Structure 1
Amino acid sequence: MGDNISLGDRDGVRTPMQWSIDRNGGFSRADPASLVLPPIMDPQYGYLSVNVETQAGDPHSLLNWTRRMLTVRKQSKAFGRGTLKMLSPTNRRVLAYTREYTGPDGKHEIILCVANVSRSAQAVELDLSAYVGMVPVEMLGGNAFPPIGQLSFLLTLAPYGFYWFGLAAENQMPSWHVEPAQSLPDFTTLVLKKRMEELLEAPSRTTLEQGILPNWLQNRRWFAGKDAAIEKVNLAYGVRFGDAQHPVLLSEIEVTGGGQTSRYQLPFGFIAEDQVGTALPQQLALSRVRRGPQVGLITDAFSLENFIRAVLQGMQNSTVLPSDGGEIRFEPTAELAKLGLTAESDVRYLSAEQSNSSVVVGNSLVLKLIRKVASGVHPELEMSAYLTAAGFGNISPLLGAVVRRDAAGEDNLLMIAQGYLSNQGDAWEWTQNNLERALRDELADAMSEQEQHYNALGELKDFAAMLGQRLGEMHQVLAASSENPDFDPQITTQKDASATGKDVVAQIEHALKLLKQHQHELNPADKTLVSRLLEHKKAILSHVQELAKKTAGGLRIRVHGDLHLGQVLVIKGDAYLIDFEGEPARPLRERRGKHSPYKDVSGVLRSFDYAAAMTINVHNVDNTAHAQDARRRVGDRYLSEARQAFIHAYRLAAATLGHAWQDPDGEDAALALFGLEKAAYEVAYEAENRPGWLPVPLHGLYGLLSGLKPFSDLGGE
């Protein structure tokens, strides 16, 4: 070969560069016959099929893939300058190593590279115990994988597949990740002669209350008292339930800590050693037990499928059990019988470790066990029953409930059964996925005609409009005159408006106090915003009171009370509203109160703001200036379009609501007032739980005040 271009064997690198489908592949306008070698005419690899112009317009082409790979590699100096440590997986078909680099600024980069060098799919277990707690973030797509633990990290790879992971801090934990339930490391053995009721008698009761339950509760996600030491646990009552082969004790426990006593529902179930099937009953077990000749475990009965089926049968039969001076009633609706559920219906747990516990039966019913029990009518049951009876279709319909009536005649909701809605996920996760897709399209600088027609931001805008329409329709149902005084709408009086103003003022004062406490943790620009807010505190509080006065004459109805994108299910582009229990931290009386419908509207608008902030601040594997600008463009456009579409659709759907505003600016004042209330609530939540996220509600609060004179010179949201 050498310089002799007449020799063969390297025609692929001597033929004209294939730039386009034009003459000579766009390489030259000369007569094709005068070229040393003609362009490749192969139907698969010829210039009519493979050329730069075509590949540049295809975001999935080899050219654009290579560009992305080079861009990602340039962002991390660890690839070229970091130390190399080879890992030794037992599967020799997989190559794995880490690169680590610490820059002059002290920034530490860790990259994990894993490659399948075989032509068949492979699984590999990697010992990454040195990086426990870190989150592998896939560098090409920015998606977080489950966090690294003490056990081997399992990966599966396609033929010749590979991963580049950046090992990130725990704050990038994927939102879908659920920590496995933690069981007690060592079980105490209890001895029962025959009956489950013996758990309520000494010495078993003493062992449970003083030894087992205080430790067991600390590992439960639904237990809200982790911040205070448990001073006392008391078994409030126990009612036998189920059959002889699968005994259960329906029970509630009273937990005292930090000067407060709360009541939680914890049904006790027995499972014999030879009956243990799935891992969940073992993970939630409290103790070993010897019951006559049988040996087994005492566990949370909700983890037992037989218990779920027994509850369903109890509802179908309208069972009533005597209990502690009252009774436990299993109450079905007429819709339950239509489902045709039987003892053979499948049972599938959604998650046993949330604020409440839920399970799907027969792919048509969701049974939710209420963990934190409170006396009084529960808003989840009340709202579901009312909206179902009114024929509002965009909710999970009520199918039944289990209610305990205590000695004082007060109802306590224990379980609620609702229709199962097969869905594409909640609107928060769905929105995040679409924003990721929009960001990838923006960074690719190339979209096909079909992708332009069905682009992610367009879908988000359409869904925001649909959500606004459905919320307006629900408010129309709740605003209708009713013989039920708990649902009959009211008009906001000046006294009501003044009381609301005082409540919002108190929340904003608390938020400003927390911002001052955390001001030193913010960047200089955000510190300036906080200083401005504190400097003009009196003007802000006066503004809130003026807004509250203008809301007089507005309608007061029952509302969702805690509406955000996580409380909405996406089903074929439609929006379904769920979880009507209100803000869990508030007492039932407040959660059942009547409010302005703009309380729900403001909750959704603030949720849009959080979704945009997640796009701008979290999906940050690519830290180039170009990528940061793209994230901001996508986030800002989404926020603007979603807000406008949502508010426009809501106003159309709720146009006939019976507001009688005394001030012509009453509607805008209500929207601003409840937006400020929600932003203040978010400041308090982030300050107490996620201080790193304080800038999001801070900018939201400031943006809502941008029309006020002291803040008109600085940008808000």
Structure 2
Amino acid sequence: MTQLEELLATWIPRQRWFAGKGLPIDALRVESQHVLVPGTPGLRVLVVEVGQHGRTDRYQVLLGLRPEGSIGADLAHAAIGVCELPGGAEGTGGPCVQAVYDATHDPEMTARLLEHIARGHAEDGVRFRRMPDTEIHTGLRSLVLTGEQSNTSLVYGEEYVLKMFRRLWPGHNPDLELTAALSGSPFVARPYGWIETDLRDSAADTLVPTTLAMLQRYLRSATDGWVLAATSVRDLYASPGVAPEDAGGDFSGEAERLGAATAAVHRDLARALPTDVLTPESQGELAESMVSRLDVAASQITALEPYAPALRDAFDAFADLDTPLPVQRVHGDYHLGQVVRTDSGWVLLDFEGEPAAPITERQRLSSPLRDVAGMLRSFDYAARHQLVGHAREDELAEPARAWAQRNREAFCAGYAFGGGIDPEKHQVVLRAFEYDKAVYEVMYEARHRPAWMRIPLDSIAALVA
């Protein structure tokens, strides 16, 4: 490893967006390095290959360069280290000792990204693209949003948000692809542009245009759907003996409007992008994959075993359906944390799907009921997560179930009213997707939050009762 790679091998595992936590790094190398701002202060885009446990992942690092000892207190938290890099401060090409840091936290450097997108510029293998018929204001100071797990988002003033995709897969990111297809919809944040480079697709042995970042309208008045739902649940818990519909923070009206917004987005996606109908063989293969996930989970988590027969029956019923199953592009990772409430209504975000899956997998057509199932699972989580360790857990369990059921029904009613497939008339399909999601949740919680494993397990117990 070079000095820079040695620093990155220590720094990358500490970042929230690093997907390989808990596993040692076997190998790390800088696959490509693109100079956006030469000299010092300087800016480079790195594509870094990280090898762990027999697999290799790629990550994007926005690297800032400054002379050794010149990183001030405002950037100290973003420091990566000091190393020798090719290319001196005057661009002589000779080696030079530099302090390197995560430049997403440097407004002086990130301002260049916005300027390049506004101009539709290209620099050293990195292409900056602006959406047609858009005007982008430059000279805005950026700020890194906190709390994001998989990517890094920069807010420019109160106008734009630039999402930088940290884990890279060759191809156009579905978030850009679907948001562009939905441009003009009141239910998505307007896209303004994107940044891309070429990555080698090893399977096809060819270079593929790959999305590095996407610029969208910043929704300054937005409130996270998960936060709104959690507030409603707290209001219910603070009102002993009161039914969810009578509690001060009843969420069902919002759940119904969210269902209608979701249906509108699904309709627009079906109009703008390819659709199809699953063959019986493909439907059977999908059911087999659900059974396979269940078998793996049940073999590792004994608490799931009692419910395995009922879950398999649901997946078998899905496989045996003889009615055509329409499929299309969908959100793919839909839950209350992926929607925000603005002054004008609900807006859907983050259409990239599961970041751990290759882009070709995320681009596969699926039933829109997969998104519906994801949101129904999210209502269960919103109702139950505050009960973990709660002193009144036994007392509040029934109100929590009632809250979840009321909002699940409201969402489905809104979805049907908004022109989506009526979930009530397609219970076999919906049930299979929801059970499959719950099995995934059991596995996830067992690995990452064991105290929360009871949430999907309790849901499964209620669903199969």
Output the TM-score relative to the length of structure 1: 0.59
Return the match for 1:680 from 429, 432, 439: 439
Aligned pairs for 1:121-270 within 5 A: 206-209=2-5, 211-242=6-37, 244=39, 246-270=41-65
Shift of 1:231: 1.4
1:513 maps onto 2:299 in alignment: yes
CA distance in 1, matches of 2:357, 2:402: 35
CA distance in 1, matches of 2:314, 2:238: 42
User: Does the CA contact (< 8 Å) of 2:222 and 2:342 recur in 1?
Assistant: yes
Shift of 1:261: 1.1
Greater Cα shift, 419-428 or 562-571: 419-428
Aligned pairs for 1:79-478 within 5 A: 206-209=2-5, 211-242=6-37, 244=39, 246-272=41-67, 276=71, 279=74, 281-288=75-82, 297-322=99-124, 327-334=125-132, 336-337=134-135, 339=136, 341-343=137-139, 345-351=140-146, 354-388=149-183, 391-406=184-199, 408-442=206-240, 455-457=248-250, 460-478=251-269
Q: How many residues align?
A: 450
1:695 maps onto 2:454 in alignment: yes
Shift of 1:496: 2.0
Shift of 1:617: 3.0
Note the alpha carbon deviations across 1:395-414, whole angstroms, 9 max, x for none: 12211111112462311111
Q: Which residue of 2 aligns with 1:533?
A: 307
User: Does the CA contact (< 8 Å) of 2:314 and 2:428 recur in 1?
Assistant: no
Note the alpha carbon deviations across 1:237-259, whole angstroms, 9 max, x for none: 22211264531122111111211
Identical counterparts, % of pairs: 27
Residues 331 and 436 of structure 1, relative CA distance in 2, 3 Å threshold: same
CA distance in 1, matches of 2:322, 2:340: 31
Shift of 1:580: 0.7
Q: Which residue of 2 aligns with 1:491?
A: 277
Residues 666 and 432 of structure 1, relative CA distance in 2, 3 Å threshold: closer
Residues 219 and 296 of structure 1, relative CA distance in 2, 3 Å threshold: same
Shift of 1:544: 1.2
Amino acid at match of 2:354: E
Note the alpha carbon deviations across 1:206-252, whole angstroms, 9 max, x for none: 2222x322211221111112222111111112221126453112211
Amino acid at match of 1:700: S
Shift of 1:304: 1.1
User: Does the CA contact (< 8 Å) of 1:510 and 1:684 recur in 2?
Assistant: no
Greater Cα shift, 349-358 or 306-315: 349-358
User: Does the CA contact (< 8 Å) of 1:398 and 1:417 recur in 2?
Assistant: yes
Residues 597 and 278 of structure 1, relative CA distance in 2, 3 Å threshold: farther
CA distance in 2, matches of 1:235, 1:379: 25
CA distance in 1, matches of 2:62, 2:138: 22
Aligned-residue RMSD, C-alpha? 2.7
Residues 261 and 296 of structure 1, relative CA distance in 2, 3 Å threshold: closer
Return the match for 2:410 from 623, 645, 666: 645
User: Does the CA contact (< 8 Å) of 2:191 and 2:216 recur in 1?
Assistant: yes
Residues 508 and 654 of structure 1, relative CA distance in 2, 3 Å threshold: farther
CA distance in 2, matches of 1:509, 1:300: 42
CA distance in 2, matches of 1:250, 1:439: 48
CA distance in 2, matches of 1:688, 1:227: 11
CA distance in 1, matches of 2:163, 2:316: 40
**Structure 2: which 5+ runs fail to align?**
91-95, 201-205
Shift of 1:377: 2.2
Q: Which residue of 1 aligns with 2:463?
A: 704
Shift of 1:570: 1.8
Greater Cα shift, 632-641 or 469-478: 632-641
CA distance in 2, matches of 1:578, 1:499: 30
Note the alpha carbon deviations across 1:66-104, whole angstroms, 9 max, x for none: xxxxxxxxxxxxxxxxxxxxxxxxxxxxxxxxxxxxxxx
User: Does the CA contact (< 8 Å) of 2:40 and 2:89 recur in 1?
Assistant: no
Amino acid at match of 1:697: P
Q: Which residue of 2 aligns with 1:615?
A: 386
CA distance in 2, matches of 1:438, 1:573: 26
Q: Which residue of 1 aligns with 2:203?
A: none
CA distance in 1, matches of 2:341, 2:12: 34
The alignment partner of 2:145 has SS state of strand
CA distance in 1, matches of 2:159, 2:320: 47
CA distance in 2, matches of 1:289, 1:259: 29
Larger helix fraction of residues? 2
Return the match for 2:400 from 635, 650, 664: 635
CA distance in 1, matches of 2:347, 2:69: 43
CA distance in 2, matches of 1:586, 1:397: 25
The alignment partner of 1:476 has SS state of helix
Amino acid at match of 2:341: V
Output the TM-score relative to the length of structure 2: 0.89
User: Does the CA contact (< 8 Å) of 1:564 and 1:603 recur in 2?
Assistant: yes
User: Does the CA contact (< 8 Å) of 1:232 and 1:256 recur in 2?
Assistant: yes
User: Does the CA contact (< 8 Å) of 2:314 and 2:431 recur in 1?
Assistant: no
The alignment partner of 1:395 has SS state of coil
Residues 352 and 681 of structure 1, relative CA distance in 2, 3 Å threshold: closer
Return the match for 1:587 from 358, 373, 380: 358
Q: Which residue of 1 aligns with 2:93?
A: none
Note the alpha carbon deviations across 1:513-542, whole angstroms, 9 max, x for none: 2321xx4xxxxxxxxxx45335xx3x6424
Q: Which residue of 2 aligns with 1:172?
A: none
The alignment partner of 1:582 has SS state of coil
Amino acid at match of 1:287: G
Residues 465 and 292 of structure 1, relative CA distance in 2, 3 Å threshold: closer
Shift of 1:654: 2.2
Note the alpha carbon deviations across 1:109-150, whole angstroms, 9 max, x for none: xxxxxxxxxxxxxxxxxxxxxxxxxxxxxxxxxxxxxxxxxx
The alignment partner of 1:688 has SS state of helix
User: Does the CA contact (< 8 Å) of 2:3 and 2:83 recur in 1?
Assistant: no
Q: Which residue of 2 aligns with 1:164?
A: none
Amino acid at match of 1:687: A
Residues 617 and 242 of structure 1, relative CA distance in 2, 3 Å threshold: same
Shift of 1:292: 6.3
Amino acid at match of 1:592: Q
User: Does the CA contact (< 8 Å) of 1:378 and 1:588 recur in 2?
Assistant: yes
Shift of 1:422: 1.7
CA distance in 1, matches of 2:347, 2:89: 50
CA distance in 1, matches of 2:286, 2:49: 34
User: Does the CA contact (< 8 Å) of 2:145 and 2:155 recur in 1?
Assistant: yes
Return the match for 1:550 from 315, 321, 333: 321
CA distance in 2, matches of 1:540, 1:453: 34
Shift of 1:573: 7.4
Note the alpha carbon deviations across 1:490-513, whole angstroms, 9 max, x for none: 122212211111111112212222
CA distance in 1, matches of 2:220, 2:89: 44
